[in-house]
Amino acid sequence: MITAVAPALVAGALGIGLATWLLRLLLELAPLDLPRSTEIGIDRGVLAFALAVSVIAGVLTGLIPIFGSGAPASQALRDSNTRGGAPCGAACTRRSWSRRSR
Q: What percent of the chain has pLDDT over 70?
A: 67
State residue 93's pLDDT score: 55
Structural domain of residue 71, as residue ranges? 2-100
Q: 21 with 82: CB under 8 angstroms? A: no
Q: 8 with 52: CB under 8 angstroms? A: no
State residue 26's pLDDT score: 93
Tally of domains in the chain:
1
pTM for this prediction: 0.57
State residue 4's pLDDT score: 84
Q: 93 with 77: CB under 8 angstroms? A: no
The rounded distance, in Å, linking the Cα atoms of 4 and 9 is 9
Residues of the chain with pLDDT under 70: 69-102
State residue 102's pLDDT score: 52
Q: 95 with 101: CB under 8 angstroms? A: no
